[in-house]
Structure 1
């Protein structure tokens, strides 16, 4: 039974489908760790239409529990108040905006794809980014360039046609098959980055010899490390 007063990691999702993914990773790799999930699909819905920067005010409300976001945001604020020490944002589209709001929360805010990006640029200079939502491409490419730290890096992006529509319709397997096929079609790359949490399962389906990197496992590990350090 989870101790409601125990230090834990708050995870901010824009899809409820991500909750079991991280719970399974916790059970397998971090038994006993406390995860507190917050699901706010509206953040991604708006970011896809108006751009990631447009969700900054709403995201701030979620993180602080203010205004219209009080019901959802109170979960984050309460979690942090119990010694959470960190928030892991699992939506790559809004990750950069969330990180910039860390001072508002008074605790670390980590985007789930940052550890993956660091691993990608450490693998080589030629990186292909695959995404199923167009709004994720630019934030992921910018993160990779940031993690490269001035080193020359070639970043190519590709939107996997039809994969998001299948995921949204509940056909996760069909979505992953399309992503895996897109990964297998990549040539001339040192690493392939799966930009979204929902794509992670495609890494096991792909047959390419190019390393295929996903974000959930490394992101969760870093989030829990920050909790332990806080």
Structure 2
């Protein structure tokens, strides 16, 4: 599928791997930072390649970095990648980018290590898990925190997302989060697409962190000239 584009030169430029994220972040923009213009590029082929290979290959890493640099050269103040599977590529590309690059899940990881020792990582795509584990480990090292991981893989639920059965996708994730919450101090949703499930299980005994809102707030601070 060819990239989906809107005009460059916005304050925040997003690289997505699913078109569904466009409205998610537009809604956050209207709520949190209506003065900041947003632009979006959708590259479903990048996530499809990661799923097929079961990991981010060197070739895919390079393709992702090239896509990010292209957005960074388009006039945005900050570029955000909303795909956690590709997150490590974002930080590798940052040194060559003319503007800040942000992986959507970095602010979430930084918050997770402040909220508990036992961290549950929930994902629907296996290739996302190693990146998220490495990210949270890095956030913990940065502040000298100990941690332990428990991974909850909901890979059989991903078909519902692919088929557009979003209510089924969110409901099943919420059900499994309720089960996972008994074994950890905080639950981390490794993929942005999982975020709406958190709203379906508000009465869990532990926090459930998702990346879109936390990441958007961080991107808006950067776009406004902060950190």
Q: TM-score scaled by structure 1?
A: 0.87
Which residue is equivalent to 1:30?
33
* 1:37-116 matches, cutoff 5 A: 37-50=40-53, 51-54=55-58, 55-64=60-69, 73=70, 76-77=71-72, 79-80=74-75, 84-116=76-108
Determine the C-alpha separation between the residues in 1 that align with 2:23 and 2:98.
27
**Aligned position for 2:135:** 143
Q: Whole-Å Cα distance in 2 between the matches of residues 168 and 14 of structure 1?
A: 12
Deviates more, 1:113-122 or 1:49-58: 49-58
Q: CA distance change for structure 1 residues 184 and 159 in 2, over 3 Å: closer, same or farther?
A: same
Contact kept? 2:120, 2:150, Cα under 8 Å:
yes
Give the whole-Å Cα distance in 1 for the aligned partners of 2:190 and 2:123. Answer: 5
Stretches of structure 2 lacking an aligned partner (at least 5 in a row): 1-6
Q: Structure 1 stretches (4+) deviating beyond 6 angstroms?
A: none
Verify: 1:225 aligned to 2:225, yes or no.
no
Q: In the alignment, does 2:16 pair up with 1:13?
A: yes
How many pairs does the alignment contain? 214
Query: Does the 8 Å CA contact 2:122/2:151 hold for their aligned counterparts?
Result: yes
Using the alignment, how far apart are the partners of 2:43 and 2:10 within structure 1?
22
In structure 2, C-alpha distance between the alignment counterparts of 1:197 and 1:60, rounded to whole Å: 20
Instruction: State the alpha-carbon separation in 1 of the partners of residues 176 and 132 from structure 2.
Output: 17
Give the Cα separation in 2 of the matches to 1:46 and 1:128.
Answer: 26
TM-score (normalizing by structure 2):
0.89
> In structure 1, the residue corresponding to 2:61 is in which secondary structure?
helix
Distance apart, 1:6 and its partner CA: 6.2
Q: 1:209 aligns with which of 205, 211, 214?
A: 205
User: How much has 1:53 moved relative to structure 2?
Assistant: 3.8
